[in-house]
Amino acid sequence: MKKLFVSAISILLLTFLAACTSNGEEGKDAENEHGEHTEASETNGDVSSELLVASTKNVTRLHADTLNDAAIMVSQTIWPATGSDNRPGTVILAPADQWQIALAGADLIHHPNNGPVLFYNQELSEETLNEINRLNPTGNANGTEVMVMGDATEKVLGSLQDYKVEQITGKDAAEFALAVDKKYAETAGELPQSVIIVSLEDEAKLFSLIASNWIAHMPEPILFVSKDDIPKATVEALKSRGNKANIYVLAPEEVISEGVVTSLKEYGNVTRIEGENPVEASIAFAKFKDEKTGFGWGVTEPGHGFAFTTTAKPEFAIAGAPFAHLGKHAPLIWLEDGEATSAVHEYLAALQPKFTNDPTVGPYNHGYILANLDEVSMDTQGMIDSMLEISPAEGSGGHGSH
């Protein structure tokens, strides 16, 4: 019998009551709801130990310590599973220790599966199996209830004997991405003409993972290259588009060389989207929009959701990718070691919603933070919350008359 998973709310509340260290961020301005500026240095110090909640008015906090916890919390937030309309079709199981496989598999979150990404190691944890049981997936068009990414052990596969399982494998990351590309085309009936090129190298992980939310939201797959080479599997995927692909390279030149970009031009039109560091690259991708193809978030005005996580736990980005599929359809913005850099401040300040007469009509911004209070402090969350808050336009008179 499928069991319901009971979320450890009481444990989380105890965690929130525990003392957490502040990140000590000072000297960064944030505009409050009355159009004034406050400084992080003017806060009342560490207030985390006094909180009974983790979320604030404009930020939903998922207080996760581990990758498994993060994935389960995202799953429970997006799929309450109280009825057939909010149960997932298929759960995606990805290897916790192979970010390249997990990232490529995120392309199947929306179509054909409509489901979360959960993780496995050598075994499937009891908590993850309980979550699959709670979700009670309805199955995709082929009846698949659990889709396993990569070479899971017999022990993992044996834990799923109550479900209809499909497995996707590949000899390496590039071949696995090609297999996912083919799977998507098989189920959708056509190949997406646009693709995202990212690096498969570990040192480039933070640049590559920025793609996770977009591919969870839209049909474009990721395909892998190294700094100076294009794998045969990636070439095969590009050639299948008649050498007329719209190719978006999500990396600066020091991650994917100009030589590789030049070689990619043989297979279609190439556009590089870059930032000097992973944080700035995440913002650049959130802003980017190709008006000809429709590719890209194009988030340059208020009225959007955002997913924040720390560069200290990069795989959390994959766990949080479904935030771009349902709910607020949020692009990923990195917090550098849990802190908002000046680039994040500037971006959010430019997007702060304004009202003239009535704040109840919006537009509204909203953020998700996927991290515990040690990784992303409440001071940082408070600053983000303030910058997402709708505020009076200049000369509007503020909230006083409402």
pLDDT exceeds cutoff 60 at 396 = no
pLDDT exceeds cutoff 90 at 146 = yes
Residue 49's pLDDT band, with cuts at 50, 70 and 90, is low
294-321 tens-digit pLDDT = 999 999 999 999 999 999 999 999 999 9
Q: Tell me if 100 is assigned to some domain.
A: no
Q: Give the per-residue pLDDT at 384.
A: 96
Count of domains for the chain: 2
Q: Which residues contact 54 (CB under 8 A, 6 or more apart)?
A: 12, 16, 61, 62, 63, 373
Q: Which amino acid makes up residue 326?
A: L
> Do residues 198 and 296 both lie within one domain?
yes
Which of 269, 300, 331 is the last residue before a domain boundary?
A: 300
> Do residues 331 and 389 both lie within one domain?
yes
> Do residues 204 and 282 both lie within one domain?
yes
> Do residues 329 and 387 both lie within one domain?
yes
- Token digits of residue 360: 């109840």
- Token digits of residue 134: 């709670």
* Signed CA dihedral, 352, 357, 360, 363: sign only: negative
- For tokens 């190719």, what's the residue? 247
Q: Tell me if 124 is assigned to some domain.
A: no
334-367 tens-digit pLDDT = 999 999 999 999 999 999 989 888 888 889 999 9
Q: Give the per-residue pLDDT at 327.
A: 86
Which of 300, 326, 348 is the last residue before a domain boundary?
A: 300
**Domain extent at residue 2:** 1-64+302-402
Q: Tell me if 54 is assigned to some domain.
A: yes
Q: Tell me if 163 is assigned to some domain.
A: no
> Do residues 290 and 343 both lie within one domain?
no
50-108 tens-digit pLDDT = 777 789 999 999 999 999 999 999 999 999 999 989 999 999 999 999 999 999 999 99
